[in-house]
């Protein structure tokens, strides 16, 4: 099955930047433009837009207009429109009393979910109206994340679960999008935990920040992904009760839907020649329950859990699927 992603690029008007007509007078003062770095590296799994800075040096009595172009580069070239997109190739910077300025090339990286060599392309300042070009080129490297069993988990997944209505006991299947990111390499969580952001998992327009413990055995190429349920030891989100009150949310486990405990819901996975699996099965022996602490509004006790009333939203997790994974091309 093929999936087609539509990417909509929005042009945002900023007060610092402005479009110029052909009748505009460009800068006539001494001014230079050039990339701040000759080499840049980004992960293929980067989901946000990336700004590549072009430095502008010198006072300007008129706008500076820059035109850039892209070309494939190296032994494993990146293809525009397939591996990345550039929002706009004609960039403008208005006159300003400040001596230094920056024009950003907005880059959107497209994850192909294929194990491959790092890809590269070259950005070139082709034309600079109103300025002299200094550093005219930079090489951008898009590092592959799919060949690494840790970084391959980055991206959007989906929770498939059974939602249990806490009032009626009724059940319904739900599918909720989540985004998984890795820890920063400088953090102790790196290659130990994965971070998960989940919006509306409980159907309350809330945003939850969940953790997965990540383990991998190189010799057997098998791994474990364990959803953390830390109870009131870790707040996973907040929900707005009224204009003045925000209620903390916690994740617990329950074997029967009433008794609660803390721990992990663990799924096993295998790393193969095509990378990580498309789905990971989680055991259905435990309910994963998100609680809202009503003790915050029940009186001065605040976080007095012995008297707090909890309103649970239970999710019986079964499988979460990666948004799109093609066969590996080796």
- Say which CATH number the domain at 46 has: 2.60.40.2030
Measure the CA–CA gap between 200 and 205, rounded to whole angstroms.
4
- Pick from 24, 17, 30, 20: nearest CA to 134: 30
Residue 126 and residue 190 in one domain: no
Could you tell me if 262 and 253 are in contact, meaning their C-beta atoms sit under 8 angstroms apart? yes
CA-CA distance, 20 to 24, in Å (whole number)? 6
Per DSSP bridges, beta strands 155-164 and 32-35 are unpaired
Q: Return the SS3 of 153.
A: helix
If one counts every other C-beta atom within 10 angstroms of the C-beta of residue 324, the result is: 16
The answer to whether residues 118 and 267 belong to one domain is: no
Residues 157 and 261 grouped into a single domain: yes
Rounded alpha-carbon distances, angstroms, from residue 64 to 59, 122, 124, 129 = 11, 22, 16, 6
Number of structural domains the chain divides into = 2
Same domain, 172 and 206: yes
**From CA 123, how far away is CA 126, in angstroms rounded?**
9
End residue of a domain, out of 75, 108, 143? 143
- Evaluate the CA torsion angle 107, 111, 114, 116 in order and state its sign: positive
CA angle 55, 184, 269 (to 5 degrees): 130
User: What is the chain's pLDDT, residue by residue, as a tens digit (330 residues)?
Assistant: 333 333 232 333 333 333 344 445 899 999 999 999 999 999 888 878 999 999 999 989 999 999 999 999 999 999 999 999 999 999 999 888 778 899 999 999 998 878 889 999 999 999 999 999 999 999 999 998 888 999 989 888 888 887 776 667 677 788 888 889 999 999 999 999 999 998 888 777 888 999 999 999 999 999 999 999 998 899 998 887 777 878 888 888 887 767 788 999 899 999 998 888 888 888 877 778 777 766 655 554 443 333 333 334 445 555 665 544 443 332
Specify whether 180 is located in the same domain as 139. no
Return the exposure string of 68-98: e unless at least 16 CB atoms fall within 10 Å of the residue's CB, then b.
bebeebeeeebeeeebbbbbeeebbbbebee
Q: Last residue of some domain: 120, 143, 166?
A: 143
Domain co-membership, 89 together with 216: no
- Same-domain check for residues 316 and 171: yes
- Total-model pTM: 0.66
Distance CA 192, CA 225 (A): 10
> CB neighbours of 285 closer than 8 A, spacing ≥ 6?
255
Question: Three-state secondary structure along 190-256?
Answer: CCCEEEEEEECCCCCCCEEEEEEEEEEECCCCEEEEEEEECHHHCCCEEEECCCCCEEEEEEEEECC
Structural domain range at position 50? 32-143
Q: Is residue 21 part of a domain?
A: no
Query: Are 64 and 131 in a shared domain?
Result: yes
- Tens digits of per-residue pLDDT, 264-297? 989 999 999 888 888 888 887 777 877 776 665 5
- The widest CA-to-CA distance across the chain, in whole angstroms, is 76
Domain final position from 109, 143, 177: 143
Tokens of 198: 């989940």
Q: Are residues 99 and 170 in the same domain?
A: no
């Amino acid at each position: 099955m093929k999936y087609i992603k539509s990417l909509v690029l929005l042009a945002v008007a900023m007060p610092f930047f402005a479009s110029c007509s052909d009748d505009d007078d460009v800068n006539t003062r001494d001014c230079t433009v050039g990339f701040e770095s000759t080499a840049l590296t980004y992960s293929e799994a980067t989901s946000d837009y990336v700004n590549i800075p072009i430095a502008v040096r010198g006072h300007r009595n008129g706008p500076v207009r820059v035109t850039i172009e892209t070309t494939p580069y190296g032994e494993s070239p990146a293809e525009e429109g397939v591996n990345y997109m550039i929002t706009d190739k004609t960039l403008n910077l208005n006159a300003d009393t400040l001596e230094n300025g920056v024009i950003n090339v907005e880059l959107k990286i497209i994850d192909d979910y294929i194990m491959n060599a790092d890809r590269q392309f070259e950005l070139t300042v082709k034309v600079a109206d109103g300025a002299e070009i200094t550093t005219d080129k930079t090489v951008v490297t898009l590092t592959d994340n799919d060949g690494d069993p840790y970084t391959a988990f980055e991206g959007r997944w989906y929770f498939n679960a059974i939602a249990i209505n806490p009032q009626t006991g009724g059940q319904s299947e739900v599918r909720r999008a989540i985004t998984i990111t890795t820890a920063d390499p400088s953090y102790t969580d790196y290659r130990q935990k994965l971070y998960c952001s989940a919006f509306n998992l409980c159907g309350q327009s809330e945003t939850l920040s969940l953790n997965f413990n990540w383990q991998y055995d190189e010799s057997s190429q098998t791994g474990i992904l364990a959803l953390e349920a830390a109870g009131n030891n870790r707040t996973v989100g907040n929900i707005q009760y009224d204009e003045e009150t925000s209620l903390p949310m916690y994740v617990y486990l329950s074997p029967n839907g009433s008794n609660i405990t803390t721990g992990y819901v663990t799924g096993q996975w295998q790393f193969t020649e095509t990378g990580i699996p498309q789905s990971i099965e989680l055991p259905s022996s435990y309910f994963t329950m998100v609680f809202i602490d009503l003790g915050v509004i029940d009186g001065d006790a605040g976080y007095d859990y012995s008297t707090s009333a909890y309103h649970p939203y239970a999710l019986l997790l079964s499988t979460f699927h990666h948004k799109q994974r093609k066969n590996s091309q080796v």
